[in-house]
Amino acid sequence: MSVSIENTSGIPAAVWVIGLLILAAVILYAVKHGHNVKIGPIEFESKGEQAKKQPPSEESAPSDPGPAEGKHIDPTAEPLTEGVAHLFGTTRTQDSELAYLYLTKAAEAGQREAFFYLGYMYAKGLYVRLDYQEAMAQYKKGADRGSTSAMNNIGHLYENGLGVAQDYKAAADWYIRAADLGDPAGQGNAARMYKNGRGVPQDLDKAITLYRRAIQQGNESAMNNLAVMYEEGVGVQQDITQAIFWYKEAAKNGNKSAPKALERLKESRPELFT
């Protein structure tokens, strides 16, 4: 088969052919390196190089950490006390790893609050991976042994849908269970659920009663929330003076919302602050 090219431009045939060859080489280079080339109505589209197939890799699940080299616990120390001290840096240097080791030892001995603190570490990702499901498992071990703090935190996980489907009824049930056993955080949280009718029928009288029980044990959140009820006149007659009193008590006890409420009321009702 013969192919003829008609040259009507007056350019020597050899030069013309060389030009075509150069153009073809440029197009091939561009396409090979991932560029689209368009000449008139013709577009040369690059598909790019195919990624080389890699063998499937196995993904390992994270494992619970063990002690690092050089970390030792005192076998004669009370493990729960030591674990909490290292966890929060109270009477010991804050060290989440040592806290985990001591608390694990305490849990092995069946100390119920050890399970609560281990659950807390998983819920916060302190030394161990953040794992709400493992936190729930630890909390339930503590709750089964009577830890009201663990019961309250199970309620928190259910209320906020952390590691479980959000379930206000389950949250309220756990808060009430802790409250009935005298846990101040549980009382405050159960009160809030009754106030808002969340997971339980709304009952403002129960809410106020539970807030006051929690306040008797120094719960600052309950102080702040009772102040809100007085400020809004919900369940009680509106009384800004009482609201200010309880906001001040909450602030004294470290509540972070109360100071902002006091600033707001000082601007709107300055006469009550003289």
- 95: DSSP letter: -
Residue 45 lies in a domain: no
* Strand, helix or coil for residue 74: coil
d(CA 139, CA 104): 13
Tell me whether residue 77 is in a domain: no
Return the closest-CA partner of residue 153 out of 124, 175, 126. 175
State how far the Cα of 264 lies from the Cα of 274, in Å rounded to an integer: 15
> What six digits make up the tokens of 200?
């339980």
Other Cβ atoms less than 10 A from the Cβ of 269: the count is: 13
Question: Would you say residue 262 lies in a domain?
Answer: yes
* 205-208 contact pairs (CB < 8 A, 24+): 205/235, 207/235, 208/235, 208/236
pLDDT of 73: 86
Q: Which stretches of the chain drop beneath a pLDDT of 50? A: 1-9, 16, 26-27, 29-69
- The whole-number pLDDT of residue 213 equals 97
237 in any annotated domain: yes
- Residue 42's DSSP bridge partners are 39
Q: How much is the pLDDT for 25?
A: 55
Count: domains in the chain = 1
Residue for token pair 């150069």 = 22
Residues 172 and 155 sit within 8 Å (Cβ to Cβ): yes
Look at residue 273 and tell me if it is in a domain: yes
Domain annotation covers residue 86: no
3 state DSSP class of 43: strand
In a domain, 79, yes or no: no
The DSSP code sequence of 244-269 is HHHHHHHHHTT-SSHHHHHHHHHHH-
Strand residues in the chain grouped as ranges (E): 37-39, 42-44
- The domain of 247 spans 230-274
Phi/psi-derived region of residue 149, left when phi > 0, alpha when psi is between -120 and 50, beta in every other case: alpha
| Partners of 211 in the β-ladder | none
Q: What is the pLDDT of residues 125-164, one digit of tens each?
A: 999 999 999 999 999 999 999 999 999 999 999 999 999 9
In angstroms, the CA 32 to CA 183 distance is 71
pLDDT at 165: 97
Which residue blocks in 110-167 are alpha helix, DSSP H?
112-124, 132-144, 148-160
pTM of the model: 0.72
Q: Which residue has the tokens 């570490």?
A: 121
